[in-house]
Chain A
Amino acid sequence: MNYATRVYDDILQTLPNVDNPTPMVRVNRLNPAPAFPLYAKLEWFNPFGSVKDRAAYYLIRDMQRHGGLSPARGIVEPTSGNTGISLAAMCAALGYRMRAVVPNRVPQEKKVLLKIAGAELDVVNDDVCPSPGMGEGSINLAKTYAKAQSERYAMPNQYENEENVRAHYETTGPEIWRQTEGRLTHLFLSLGTCGTVTGCSRYLKGRNPAVKVIAVQPSEGHDVPGLRNITQLDVSKLFDPTLIDEILEIDYHLAYTRALDLAQQEGLLAGPSAGLIFEGAHRIVARDRAGFGVMIFPDNVFKYVSSMLKHLPQLTDGTVPRSGGPGERVHE
């Protein structure tokens, strides 16, 4: 593959790897300590717009290798959106059926994107008086399809599948190591399925055990899609606390205000989970003052317009004509 010319035989060839990494961009105006360079790894440069492309590809590839997929047997997966979009687009490219089971709290943009990408969609109200440990409706409904209709659906299960970890161990981790030329001291990321943190940490600490891995999580009751508070992590079998040096819990409202800061002061059109990660990184940089940090920004803000409006209602100001309308102003 010639990544210099950027001409490909199919969309899957654009997936990142150590020779074709997603970009890392330095944070300048918002960095509180110049002796602590801080870079954002922009995962929205993945072909389907998020870090989840990496895991999705490994999950599908593994199922293909083991004969789990066919034109008659596609995929069902519980997803907060990004994994579903990645899987749906890849299934479209490869000719498989895809069914996405999403919690109702997922922003409308993501639900529509899933349909645009060709997924059959089930929306589940996961927040109805939940009980700790009793499982989540979206996961259980996806499992039901996989069990009751196994001739039509296989479930990769991103929450338990080691391929999710392997994707980051073999791509994201080595990319960061090469892009930082081994100078990395702090890695900042968020917790969801925990595939990213477990894979990256396993690789990077293998290269340098002194690398600090700092996970940033939203406060309880949050509405940041794809992320989990520590109390919600029992669903992920990929969570390995021994690979995480520090977990910061941050008021989830800051996910949205910091995303706005990144857009307006750095030109980084980052999504709310990236905003949350940035807030965590900012606190550590201000505390430690020296180091070399990389933040993994999962996706950009384009899918979160409705979420941004909910938290930052002032964004609607000036988005409609002033009273009287443009026709009237012509005559002012």
Chain B
Amino acid sequence: MSDYAHPDVLVSTDWVRAHLGQPGVRLVEVDVDTQAYAAGHLPGAIGWNWQTQLQDRLTRDILAKAAFEELVGNAGIANDDTVVLYGDHSNWFAAYAFWLLAQYGHRDVRLMNGGRAKWLNEPDRPLTPTPAAIAPTRYTASGPNLALRARVAEVLEASHRRAAKLVDVRSPDEFTGKVIAPPGMTETAQRGGHIPGAKSVPWNSAVNPDGTFKSRPELEAIYLRGAGLDPTGKTIAYCRIGERSSHTWFVLTYLLGFANVKNYDGSWTEYGSMVGLPIEREA
């Protein structure tokens, strides 16, 4: 992990095992499958439900600062704590939570490389169904740092004028328009296809079979030489609802050291449903 641009934001399962229960280290599990935390989680970890806790469901937006402070404070996280996020699907929603914490200026946030599946499938890694004991804190956020987030106007600008490179990290069938969303998903769009000018680099290009991130040379081969992205230019990643693109945002920003990467969390559910916007479809 040491040759990544910012290796300090990634910790191994061994590191987490060694720091279980250590004061100042808070573990947070965020899964696509919201029943997984209750079945069993790392001792001391609290669980966040992406469907009910990480967005403002009324405004369809990221949490407002006050709501974010309440969420983090109620999780017992203090401003100077080290927050280690992990989850299923190689950290999809853990990366989304990372992106949210980064926007609100948490100083020390990290991902557990490989996520919950790696921990689960290693010997002698404890799990418990018992919810962690929490002593709420008074948490103070800064920001939000809007430099990490793309809105639709900026995406249109990127598409029309090539002002930034767009990376579509969904599956190939979603990119071509063969399907609008993966099977069984309720958050969907009116049309299938992709944003004109976007490059298809599925999120899982970045991970090994065990869910850990590929090495820096491998990632450079994929994102720089393969997709033609520019570490010094502007890049916008998108998917369906912003969680898989958070994963790629993390890769480009922290592992490859791109200077300016934004996550378009409105993603295809927003863009694919807007009236009059151009799309490309191959299917």
The residue in chain A whose Cβ has the minimal distance to the Cβ of B174 is A129
A144 interfacial by beta-carbon distance below 8 Å: yes
Q: Is the CB of A129 within 8 A of B171?
A: yes
Contact B35 A125 (CB under 8 A): no
- Interface of chain B: mostly helix, strand, loop or mixed: loop
Beta-carbon contact of B40 and A149 below 8 Å: yes
B117 at the interface (CB under 8 A from A): yes
Whether A261 sits at the interface, judged by CB under 8 Å, is no
Q: Does A324 contact B (CB under 8 A)?
A: no
Contact with A along B159-194 (1 / 0, CB 8 A): 000000000001100100000001111000000000
CB proximity of B71 to chain A, nearest CB, Å: 24
Interface size on B, residues (CB 8 A): 34
Q: Does A4 contact B (CB under 8 A)?
A: no
Is A208 positioned at the interface, with any CB of B under 8 Å from its CB?
no
Are B40 and A145 in contact, CB atoms less than 8 angstroms apart?
A: yes
Partner of A143, one of B32, B120, B128, B174: B120
Picked from B40, B89, B171, B203, the residue with its CB within 8 Å of the CB of A144 is B40
- A129 engages B170 (CB within 8 Å): yes
CA distance A149 to B117 in the complex (A): 17
By a CB distance below 8 angstroms, the chain A residues around B33 are: 124-125, 137, 141
Segment with Cβ contacts to A, from B98-106, B144-152, B206-214, B261-269: B206-214
Q: CB within 8 A of A135: which of B117, B125, B183, B204?
A: B117
Contact of A131 with B183 at beta-carbon distance under 8 Å, contacts A140-B120, A145-B40, A148-B128 already known: no
Q: Give complex CA distance A87, B127 in Å.
A: 25
Contact B209–A147 (Cβ < 8 Å): no
Judge if B63 is at the interface, Cβ distance under 8 Å. no
Q: Which of A125, A128, A145 has the most CB of B within 10 A?
A: A128
Decide: A128 near B207, CB < 8 A? Known: A135-B121, A141-B35, A149-B129.
no
Per-position 1/0 for B23-55, Cβ under 8 A of A = 000000000110110011100000000000000
Distance in angstroms between the alpha carbons of A132 and B207 in the assembled complex: 10
Q: A131-B90, A140-B120 are in contact. Are A148 and B40 (CB under 8 A)?
A: yes
Residues of B within 8 A of A132 (CB): 204, 209
Contact of A122 among B35, B170, B182, B202 (CB under 8 A): B35
B208-239 residues with Cβ-Cβ distance < 8 A to A are 208-211
**Which residues of chain A are near B183, meaning CB under 8 Å?**
105, 125, 127-128
CB-based contact A143/B121 at 8 Å: yes
* Contact residues on A (Cβ < 8 Å of other chain), bracket: 20 to 34
Instruction: For A267, list chain B residues within 8 Å (CB).
Output: none
B110 within 8 A of A: no
Residues in B neighbouring A127, C-beta threshold 8 A: 182-184
CA gap between A237 and B272 in the complex, in Å: 42
Contact of B88 among A105, A137, A145, A147 (CB under 8 A): A137
B-chain residues with CB within 8 Å of residue A128 when the two chains form the complex = 32, 89, 182-185
B-chain residues with CB within 8 Å of residue A143 when the two chains form the complex: 120-121
Contact residues in B for A133 (Cβ distance below 8 Å): 208-210
Assembly CA distance A137 to B117 (angstroms): 9
Residues of chain A in range 264-323 having any CB-CB distance to chain B below 8 Å: none
A144–B207 CB distance below 8 A: no
Whether A141 and B209, one on each chain, are in contact in the complex, defined by CB atoms closer than 8 angstroms, is no
Instruction: Determine whether the beta carbon of B185 is less than 8 Å from that of A140.
Output: no
B1-42: which residues lie under 8 A (CB-CB) from chain A?
32-33, 35-36, 39-41
Contacts of A145 in B (CB 8 A): 39-40
Q: Can you give 16 A-B contacts (C-beta < 8 A)? A: A124-B35, A125-B183, A127-B183, A129-B202, A132-B209, A134-B204, A140-B88, A140-B117, A143-B120, A145-B39, A147-B120, A148-B39, A148-B40, A148-B127, A149-B40, A149-B129
Interface residues of A, Cβ cutoff 8 Å to B: 104-105, 122, 124-125, 127-129, 131-135, 137, 140-141, 143-145, 147-149
